[in-house]
Amino acid sequence: MDIQIQWFPGHMAKARRQVQDALKLVDVAFELLDARIPVSSGNPMIGEILGNKPRLIILNKSDLADPNMTKKWIKKLERPGVKAIAMDTIKGEGLKEVPKAAAALAAEQMAKLAAKGRRPRAIRCMVLGIPNVGKSSFINRLVGRKATKTGDLPGVTKGQQWIRTAGALDLLDTPGILWPKFEDPEVGFKLAITGAIKEQVFDIYDVSIKLLQWLVENNPEKIKERYKLTDLTPELPTLLKDIGARRGLLIAGGEVDTFKAAHLVLKEFRDGILGRYTLDLP
């Protein structure tokens, strides 16, 4: 099943220009990716915009991803001028690695400034990523206080702001950037199920049916265990109804509320209740 999703609010074109303008002010770019979908959650434009700027790739939400796959992704993503770390911004795991990695990436730039007789200053870092990848939570963790407005809805961060951390880092927050076209329908699907796209712009029922298909193919026992089903019918709409019936998601007349059932499956996948998965393979 192909799911076509297009979403490019006008403010995102403006955001790209803001990033390009601010890039000359920073020493290191922090790019946040969703550890479950490191390719699909990466904006192809960011590579073009950053050029040779030192980059720290942060695989966020690593607590929801397959840990072995995350290790493989870190190896694949690292190259000269690019470091990668896994992080869980909710628990703060991986946080201590950030200042160390930033210092290593900015060492050459800091040495140049020292050679010119400039006084030592904080390393200036720009935080980039698509909406809802956890940028605001990441900044709040790094700063140690509620520095930015956070929320579960994509696109909460509308403007740019500099934030001083307790360590030797200055952070420049940027609006989330998505690209104008998802060339691959699978990318749209993965962004939808992980929560990067507003639910108003895709059909929750269609997406949950496709997600169920993926889960049945990859971990059918988890579906049986979670929803107390002895058998999984190959008819996915019926399977969704079975799940809804098990959870008592009924409307008048005893019919299953398929919208609520679809929403349940989507939420439990996003929360990691149905297992830890990496959908993009290295």
Residue 129: CATH number of its domain: 3.40.50.300
Domain boundary (173, 191, 218) is at: 173
pTM tops 0.95: no
pLDDT confidence of residue 5: 62
The count of residues in the chain is: 282
Do 207 and 169 share a structural domain? no
**129 and 260 part of one domain:** no
- Of the ranges 21-30, 37-46, 80-89, 164-173, which one carries the lowest mean pLDDT score? 164-173
pLDDT at residue 234, rounded to an integer: 93
Distance CA 175, CA 180 (A): 15
* 158 within a domain of the structure (yes/no): yes
Q: 206, 201, 204, 207: which is closest to 9 by C-alpha? A: 201
Counting the structural domains of the chain, the total is 2
**Of 213, 214, 247, the residue nearest 229 (C-alpha):** 247
Domain holding 260, by residue range, is 203-270
Give the residue from 260, 206, 200 showing the smallest Cα distance to 237.
206
Same domain, yes or no, for 43 and 169?
yes
Round to whole Å and give the CA distance between 150 and 141.
12
Give phi and psi for 79, each to the nearest 5.
-160, 175
Contact 77, 84 (CB under 8 A): yes
Same domain, 104 and 215: no
Known binding residues for GTP:
60-63, 132-137, 176
In a domain, 141, yes or no: yes
Based on the domain organization, do 112 and 249 belong to the same domain?
no
Q: Does residue 183 sit within a domain?
A: no
Binding site residue list: 60-63, 132-137, 176
* Per-residue tokens: 221: 């026992």
Q: Is the Cα torsion angle 132, 134, 137, 138 positive or negative in sign? A: negative
Question: DSSP state, 88?
Answer: B
Encode pLDDT of 199-251 as tens digits: 888 899 999 999 999 999 999 999 999 999 999 999 999 999 999 999 999 99
Is 230 within the bounds of a domain?
yes
Three-class secondary structure of residue 28 per DSSP? strand
Residues 18 and 128 in one domain: yes
CA dihedral sign of residues 2, 59, 89, 14: negative
Higher-confidence position of 154 and 65: 65
Does residue 66 sit within a domain? yes
Contact 59, 31 (CB under 8 A): no
Determine the pLDDT at residue 154: 44
- Within a domain: 281: no
Burial class, 37, CB count within 10 angstroms (exposed 0-12 / middle 13-18 / buried 19+): buried
The chain-wide mean pLDDT, for the chain, equals 87
Owner of token pair 């020493």: 27
What is the reported pLDDT for 7? 54
Q: For residue 212, give the CATH number of its domain.
A: 1.10.1580.10
Percent of the chain with pLDDT over 90: 58
- Residue 173: DSSP 8-state: E
Is 111 domain-assigned? yes
Q: Are 143 and 135 in contact (CB under 8 A)?
A: no
Q: Is the pLDDT assigned to residue 178 strictly greater than 70?
A: no
267: three-class secondary structure by DSSP: helix
| Residue 166 and residue 227 in one domain | no
Largest CA distance in the chain: 79
Of residues 235, 30, 54, 261, the one with CA closest to residue 134: 30
